[in-house]
Structure 1
Amino acid sequence: MRILTAAHSYQEEIRKSRFLAQAVHLPAAEQAADLIAQLSTAHASHNCWAWRCTEQYRFSDDGEPGGTAGRPILAAIENQGFDQVLIVVTRWYGGIQLGTGGLARAYGGCATQVLQNAPSKILVPRTTLAGHCPYTYLDVFKVRIAEAGAVLNSEEFDAEGAWLNLSVPDEEIAGLQDALSQATRGASTLQEIDLA
């Protein structure tokens, strides 16, 4: 899956109707309504939208014939492999009917274009882990953390070493746990932290 690294927009005129697609990062589903309100244009004919955030998704045709706008926008999100994204496609009617097929192609096509041109990155699933590392191994273990692409969220020092809180790519968890366990002869391991 991919996520946006910055908001992006795309405009196109199709048979005298003007379409503006705007895509933004949606970190939490609860923020969708506010973002839709911010991106919608009051004097436009239609502000159709779709969003996906992990397992949740919603879409709206905003007065266009059923299935001609929101669903094609959502299909573009899924086909382009995006998550945590919200797209609003605004239409200013130009006087020529596009028909249901034409509307679906216009809305879906604009959504596809805005995602294809938007700055994005691959979403790496991460797990938060914590564990204690002795001073004698701390520098070496920090190198291993960096090599694994993990992020050191925090460290708290005590008399023997440091308590580390890490965000670790899921495919690197076993390797980091093994490295710390071997270095401390099993005295210290990384444990998953439940953030819920």
Structure 2
Amino acid sequence: MEPTTCRTLAAPVVARLEDRRSVFECWLRRVEDEADAGGVVDEARRTLWDARHHCSAFVLGVDASVVRSNDDGEPAGSAGMPMLEALTHAGLTDVVAVVSRWFGGTKLGTGGLARAYGGVVREALEQAVPLTRVLVEEVDVRIGHDLAGRLEHDLRARGVSIGEARYAQEVTLPVLVPVRDAPSLPDLLAELSGGRADLVAASARRRWVDAPDDT
């Protein structure tokens, strides 16, 4: 079944962790695609140029099906994979974590590195505010000028999002409803308009939008 909701990051987060004088700084960002994620890694390299490593992990897609990690010179499996595990456990998608490390002079070993890299990402995730994205169906609703204002008010009162109205012989209201609620829209329109609103079925289109709050 096609996903109709997913969770991502509402705002960037920066977290730091220190272990035996090695410092780990995590940048947690929302991204759109692999190129976007790579851009965050490049930015970290430029900005934190004196760090020895810039390890990364990201999760992409509404079904979180695209996952990648990079150890950036650390022992295999000691950095990128623990970071990725932290991200996937959090249930977020379209997010990248970049952890820059300044070596403190004491080797931490593979286990110590894994705990530190995974730990600083988990710390960033604890500070993060999740954002729900919803797959919506946008359809045009046509109604007479005399009822348009009231219908728009009543739809908004029911939690239905309305785009910018278009005025001609009739008023066209772009109505956005979650895909899961779309089958009930005709009945709702009939109830609120007394059967005078016309749903333009051919106008239906789908897109992802950020929900106003976490649902």
Shorter-chain TM-score tier: 0.7 to 0.9
**Paired residue for 1:43?**
50
Residues 180 and 189 in structure 1, CA contact (< 8 A), matched pair in contact too: no
1:126 aligned onto 2:135: yes
Q: Hey, what's the Cα distance between the residues in 2 that align with 1:50 and 1:25?
A: 12
**Paired residue for 2:213?**
none
Runs (4 or more) in structure 1 with deviation over 6 Å come to: none
RMSD of the alignment, in Å? 2.3
Residues 144 and 176 in structure 1, CA contact (< 8 A), matched pair in contact too: no
Residues 79 and 118 in structure 2, CA contact (< 8 A), matched pair in contact too: yes
AA of the residue aligned to 1:50: A
Residues 13 and 29 in structure 2, CA contact (< 8 A), matched pair in contact too: yes
Residues 141 and 174 in structure 2, CA contact (< 8 A), matched pair in contact too: no
1:192 aligned onto 2:204: yes
Q: Which moved further from structure 2: 62-71 or 123-132? A: 123-132
1:29-68 alpha-carbon deviations (Å, 9 max, x no partner) = 3312212211232221110011112132221110111111
Residues 149 and 169 in structure 1, CA contact (< 8 A), matched pair in contact too: no
Other structure's SS at 2:92 match = coil
Question: After superposition, where does 1:1-196 map in structure 2 within 5 Å?
Answer: 1-40=6-45, 41-54=48-61, 55-121=65-131, 123-135=132-144, 136-162=146-172, 164-181=173-190, 183=193, 184=195, 187-190=198-201, 191-193=203-205
Q: Kindly tell me: are residues 110 and 153 of structure 1, through their superposed partners in 2, closer, same or farther at Cα, counting changes over 3 Å? A: same
Q: Hey, what's the Cα distance between the residues in 2 that align with 1:180 and 1:31?
A: 41
Identity percentage of aligned residues? 28
Q: Kindly tell me: are residues 155 and 133 of structure 1, through their superposed partners in 2, closer, same or farther at Cα, counting changes over 3 Å? A: same
Q: Which blocks of at least 5 consecutive residues in structure 1 are unaligned?
A: none
TM-score (structure 2 length as normaliser): 0.78
How far is 1:5 from its partner?
Answer: 1.8
Q: Hey, what's the Cα distance between the residues in 2 that align with 1:168 and 1:157?
A: 21
Residues 80 and 116 in structure 1, CA contact (< 8 A), matched pair in contact too: no
1:124-161 alpha-carbon deviations (Å, 9 max, x no partner) = 32223122220344334323442454433332122122
- Aligned residue pairs total 193
Q: Hey, what's the Cα distance between the residues in 1 that align with 2:167 and 2:137?
A: 19
Q: Hey, what's the Cα distance between the residues in 1 that align with 2:87 and 2:38?
A: 18
Q: Hey, what's the Cα distance between the residues in 2 that align with 1:74 and 1:97?
A: 22
Residues 181 and 189 in structure 1, CA contact (< 8 A), matched pair in contact too: no
Q: Hey, what's the Cα distance between the residues in 1 that align with 2:35 and 2:102?
A: 28
Q: Kindly tell me: are residues 62 and 28 of structure 1, through their superposed partners in 2, closer, same or farther at Cα, counting changes over 3 Å? A: same
